[in-house]
Structure formats: structure tokens, C-alpha cells
């Protein structure tokens, strides 16, 4: 073992958020992505016309760039992800954005590049200073526009990325979506940033391209220099600088084990998810884009348990039309080809969307006007989506699911609007599924506690553990300061989940779990032991989950569940699950990254 000295850099771990899975080992390239302000250069009144022509040319050239990038991204990543760049083009064509820049050039007699840098810089800073994480992530979209226009106004030097050697890991303060999409993937194998969140467009592009990524590392770039060896662990959300020989060997072994493990899972994809004693467990997929349905099916999923529809809003500067909704859902129905397809109505608000559309942002949007509350208070928007969903139901089987239901009245109102639109469509002579199933997410304690009453009204339950944990434990799951308190193995959470499953079974209605914890192998055994028979997870989690299911019997899972529910500490529960699960089916965990 090499002992660090004053001339030997010390191994240094930087935790962050793993937003795109995978482990890579490479050399660091630090990008200076802090967009500097252009000096204020005055111009004469006679020069205004020429300056405006320069400005207009730069805007047109930037829009042309974005259209070309959109076409390329559409081929490589699919329509929904590529729409990010179409939105950027629309923004640059928006008079409300570019108009003030032209006015600044004319009235204040400044150069075009200063007007662009200053006004877009002010806008980006406003987003960065917001307490809302989704606003912060929009700043890199504005930076992207600024850099693109300034490139055409000033002329840019060739990107340092052209000089990147193979096996380069990019470190940056932040990255824009187009920077990420523009990476030469034969050279750039991963990236990490100081800033960023799970829902940023940059993270979405990384996942679509399959580039391992860790964001939110805070001071990573300050600690790094070009050429350093680094390990980027997108599975656990960790970056290791100057790894020791032992760390390198350990991670290289993990990479090899993961590769072999995934190869061993290939044959499982077409096999049924049935326990050793013959109990069938339904495995569905969680998706954000219609194209992901193919990934779910290829991984061995039986359908879609959760299609999040928020991205229709997050990739546009305007609300999607009924036809926009319809086309997206029709595409999903076509790709699902008769398989189960559950579509959740828009879960907007809090860190996602609504705060940018109000004059005075809410002090605590996570407890404010979000999800079904927002929809019921914005009925024209809600009804556009419901009409599209009902029209799409004529093309194949779908189910509608309402998010963040906290009271019977909310569900009844949502159901009333569906029935009302059914009447409208019938009068218009449009087809729809008259027996459409309507269910709800169980994401808050009030819904879990009232599950017996809800079970008399709904067609199915889906337990959303992400929010259920957050609201049960009063822990903001996006807040790094209290991240250690966020635990899906907390006894209070387990008791709520068990109770919901029991009451759904008593009422003879289907119940699934679609939170991130459903993809955790140890926790999945617990859920099965509680009586759950449907799990909805990301496509990458499906093969491992199927292997686990085919290696256990129900009695083993029930014994684990009985022991876990008797404990009074999340630490004890986690330890129990890890010990029991790995003892019962050690082969299901081969090749997985160490916890």
C-alpha cells in the first residue's frame, strides 16, 4: 500500500447525486463553465443599426444550430429528450426574451455581446438564487443560450473537448444540455458537476445517452486538476479522486463483476417472474418517455406501472395542447402493444413547474399547491390531459392514476371530471374506454391511514414510497442537510405500507409499489413478504429483480417481513434485510456494487 506523502495526492471521495448509472475509471478534464460577463463596450448612435444586424445574425445562427442539434438528438435520443433543444430554439425566437436586448443596444448604446451577457446573466442568476431546486437547474439552460449567442457574436476558440483523450471524465461547475449532448462518447466516458439535480435537463440527457454522471458534488472542481485519475460511480453517486491501488483494484473488480452479472441476466429477460414455490410476481416499468417502453420490455418487464407525464410540460415554454398529450399517449399505447400501461396525471408543483408561473412563489411548495391540488385548481389544463387520455384509451388498454391524493373529496372530484369528459366525448361521437380503470398514488400518511375508505372508491392503489417516506418522516428528499434522515426502512413507513397492502387485499383491489425502493432487492423481499405482488421499477432494475424473485419462496419473504415489522429502528431493519436477503439468495447480489 502506498503511504500518501506531501508529494503523493491523497485519495479523496466526493459524494453527490448519481443521476445516470454506471462506474467508469479515467482521467479528469476540468472545464471552466463559469460564464464570465462581457465588458460593457459603448457604441455610437450611428453604429446602432450595424450592431442590431450583428445581434439578429447571431440569434438566427444560434437558432439554426439548435434546429440541427434537435434533429441529431431526435435520432440518437428520441423525441422527448431532443425537445429540450427545440425549446431552446423557441426561447431565442421569443420577443419577450430577445426584445429587451435589442432595446438595451438601442437605448443604452452598448455592444450586442454585453446586452446578451448582461441580461441573460441576470436571468440565470435569478434562477440560481431560488430556493427551489428545479429553478436552480434551469440556470444552465439560460447559460447554454448565452454561450451559444456569444459564440456567434465574438467567435469562440475550439472547445478543449476536441483535445480530450480517450477515457476522459469531465468535471465542471455545471453543464448545459447541449454540452452534454455534444460529448464525443468515444472519448468522454462520464461527467461530474458541482451543481445540478436529478430533474435537470442535463441529467435527463445523460441518462438518455447512457453516460454515467454524478451531480451536486459541491466543491469537486476546486479539488481537481487536469490529468488526475478518478473513479466516477454513478450507481452510488460518488467520485473518488486519486484512488489508491486498492480502490482501483476494487472498482475494476466491481466493473468486471457487473459486466458478467448483466450478461448472466440476459437469459432471464424472457422467463416469468415466479418464485420457487410458484407465486407469480408482476414486474412493470417506470418511464418518463414513451421510447423507454422498449427498454422495459427488452429488460423483461411486463408493461408500464408508472408513466410520468410531467416532461410534456418541462420541455416546453408553453403548456402542451390536447393533441400534444394525445400523440404522446397514443405512442405509448402503440409501443405497449396491449401490455399494462398506467399513466399518471401530471404531478406538477414543488420542485417541478408551478413556482415559475406565479407572481409570489410559495414558501413551502412541497406542502402547497402541487400535484392533484394544482390540477383541480387549473381545470382547463387538467381537462386537456384527461380528454387526451380518454381518447387514447380507445387505442388500447390504459389506466389513469392520480397523484398525491390526500382526501376522499380530491379523488371524487378527479373522478367526476373524468366522467364529465366521458359524457362530452360521447356527445361528440369520439371513442373511449367506458370501463377505464382509475386509481391513486398512496404517497401521504392520510391516504395510507384512510386506505380502507379509499379502497371502496378506487380501482387500484400504487404506493409511491419516495413521497410517502418524505411526508411520513418530515424530510425533504432533495435537501442534502437532512438526507441521512430519509429512510424507506423506517418502522413507521413499513407499518403504513403493510397496512395499505392488507386493506387493498381485503377489498380485493390491485396494489403495486412504484417508488425507487421497489427496485432495492432487499426491500423488494420485504414488500413481497407483506403480500405485494406487483412491483414497478426502472428498466435497469428489472433483470436483477427478476433473478431475485426466481430464487426465493414466499415463506422466506414472509419470515423477513415478520421480523422487520417487529423492529423499532430503521438501522435495525436495514441490517436485518441485508443479512437475511444475502444469506437466503447470495447469488442474486453477485456483481452488485457494495452498499
Q: What is the DSSP letter of 370?
A: -
| CA–CA gap between residue 279 and residue 553 (Å, rounded) | 8
Percent helix, strand, coil in the chain, to 5, is 55, 15, 35
C-alpha 565/C-alpha 557 separation (Å) is 12
Strand partners, 348: none
DSSP string, 387-428: HHHHHHTTTS--EEEESS--SHHHHHHHHHHHHHHHHHHHHH
151 part of the active site: no
Element (H, E) at 439: strand 437-442
Query: DSSP labels for 149-196?
Result: HHHHHH-PPPPGGGGPPSSEEEEES---HHHHHT--TTTEEEEEESS-
CA–CA gap between residue 220 and residue 14 (Å, rounded):
7
Q: What SS3 class is residue 537?
A: strand
What is the C-alpha to C-alpha distance for residues 240 and 476, in angstroms, rounded to an integer?
27
Which residue is catalytic, options 201, 325, 488, 490?
201
Point out the catalytic residue in the list 217, 332, 513, 514: 514
The answer to whether 389 and 429 have CB atoms below 8 angstroms apart is: no
Alpha carbons 570 and 491: distance in angstroms, whole number: 6
Report the phi/psi class of residue 494: left, alpha or beta, with left for phi > 0 and alpha for psi in -120 to 50: alpha
**Residues contacting residue 566 through CB under 8 Å, at least 6 positions apart:** none
Q: How many residues does the chain have?
A: 595
Question: Cα–Cα distances in Å, from 74 out to 180, 205, 209?
Answer: 15, 11, 12
C-alpha dihedral (158, 162, 165, 167), degrees to nearest 10 = 120
Cite the active site residues. Answer: 201, 514
Amino acid at each position: 500500500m502506498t503511504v500518501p506523502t506531501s508529494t503523493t495526492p491523497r485519495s479523496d471521495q466526493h459524494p453527490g447525486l448519481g443521476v445516470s448509472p454506471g462506474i467508469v475509471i479515467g482521467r479528469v478534464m476540468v472545464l471552466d463553465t463559469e460564464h464570465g460577463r462581457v465588458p460593457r463596450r459603448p457604441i455610437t448612435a450611428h453604429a446602432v443599426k450595424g450592431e442590431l444586424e450583428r445581434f439578429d445574425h447571431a440569434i438566427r445562427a444560434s437558432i439554426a444550430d439548435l434546429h440541427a442539434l434537435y434533429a441529431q438528438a431526435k435520432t440518437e435520443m428520441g423525441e422527448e429528450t431532443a425537445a429540450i433543444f427545440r425549446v431552446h430554439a423557441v426561447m431565442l425566437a421569443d420577443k419577450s426574451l430577445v426584445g429587451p436586448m435589442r432595446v438595451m443596444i438601442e437605448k443604452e448604446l452598448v455592444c450586442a455581446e454585453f446586452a446578451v451577457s448582461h441580461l441573460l446573466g441576470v436571468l440565470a442568476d435569478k434562477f440560481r438564487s431560488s430556493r427551489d431546486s428545479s429553478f436552480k437547474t434551469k440556470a444552465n439552460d439560460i447559460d447554454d443560450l448565452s454561450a451559444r449567442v456569444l459564440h456567434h457574436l465574438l467567435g469562440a476558440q475550439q472547445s478543449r473537448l476536441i483535445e480530450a483523450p480517450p477515457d476522459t471524465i469531465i468535471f465542471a461547475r455545471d453543464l448545459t444540455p447541449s454540452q452534454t449532448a455534444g460529448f464525443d462518447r468515444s472519448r468522454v466516458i462520464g461527467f461530474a458537476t458541482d451543481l445540478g439535480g436529478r430533474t435537470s435537463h442535463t441529467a435527463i440527457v445523460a441518462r438518455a445517452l447512457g453516460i454515467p454522471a454524478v451531480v451536486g458534488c459541491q466543491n469537486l472542481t476546486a479539488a481537481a486538476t487536469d490529468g488526475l485519475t478518478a473513479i466516477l460511480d454513478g450507481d452510488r453517486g460518488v467520485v473518488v479522486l486519486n484512488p489508491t491501488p486498492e480502490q482501483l483494484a476494487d472498482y475494476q473488480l466491481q466493473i468486471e463483476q457487473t459486466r458478467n452479472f448483466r450478461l448472466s441476466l440476459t437469459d432471464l429477460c424472457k422467463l416469468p417472474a415466479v418464485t420457487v414455490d410458484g407465486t407469480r410476481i408482476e414486474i412493470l416499468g417506470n418511464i418518463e418517455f414513451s421510447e423507454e417502453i422498449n427498454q422495459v420490455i427488452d429488460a423483461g418487464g411486463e408493461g408500464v406501472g408508472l408513466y410520468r407525464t410531467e416532461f410534456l410540460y418541462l420541455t416546453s415554454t408553453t403548456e402542451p395542447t390536447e393533441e400534444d398529450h394525445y400523440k404522446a399517449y397514443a405512442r405509448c399505447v402503440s409501443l405497449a402493444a396491449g401490455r399494462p400501461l398506467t399513466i399518471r396525471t401530471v404531478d406538477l408543483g414543488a420542485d417541478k413547474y408551478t413556482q415559475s408561473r406565479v407572481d409570489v412563489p410559495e414558501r413551502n411548495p412541497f406542502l402547497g399547491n402541487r400535484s392533484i391540488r394544482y390540477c383541480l385548481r387549473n381545470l382547463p389544463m387538467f381537462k386537456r390531459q384527461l380528454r387526451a387520455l380518454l381518447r387514447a384509451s380507445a387505442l388500447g388498454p390504459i389506466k389513469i392514476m392520480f397523484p398525491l391524493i390526500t382526501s376522499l373529496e380530491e379523488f371524487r372530484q378527479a373522478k367526476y371530471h373524468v366522467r364529465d369528459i366521458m359524457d362530452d366525448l360521447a356527445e361528440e361521437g369520439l371513442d373511449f374506454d367506458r370501463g377505464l380503470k382509475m386509481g391513486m398514488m398512496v404517497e401521504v400518511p392520510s391516504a395510507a391511514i384512510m386506505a380502507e375508505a379509499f379502497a371502496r372508491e378506487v380501482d387500484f392503489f400504487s404506493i409511491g414510497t419516495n413521497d410517502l417516506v418524505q411526508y411520513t418522516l418530515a424530510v425533504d428528499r432533495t435537501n442534502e442537510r437532512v438526507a441521512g434522515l430519509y429512510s424507506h426502512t423506517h418502522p413507521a413507513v413499513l407499518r403504513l405500507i403493510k397496512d395499505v397492502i392488507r386493506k387493498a387485499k381485503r377489498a380485493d383491489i390491485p396494489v403495486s409499489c412504484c417508488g425507487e425502493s421497489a427496485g432495492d432487492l432487499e426491500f423488494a423481499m420485504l414488500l413481497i413478504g407483506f403480500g405485494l405482488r406487483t412491483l414497478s421499477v426502472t428498466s435497469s432494475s428489472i433483470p436483477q429483480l427478476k433473478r431475485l424473485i426466481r430464487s426465493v419462496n414466499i415463506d422466506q419473504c414472509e419470515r423477513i417481513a415478520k421480523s422487520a415489522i417487529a423492529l423499532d429502528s430503521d438501522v435495525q431493519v436495514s441490517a436485518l434485510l441485508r443479512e437475511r436477503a444475502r444469506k437466503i439468495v447470495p447469488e442474486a447480489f453477485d456483481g452488485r456494487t457494495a452498499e
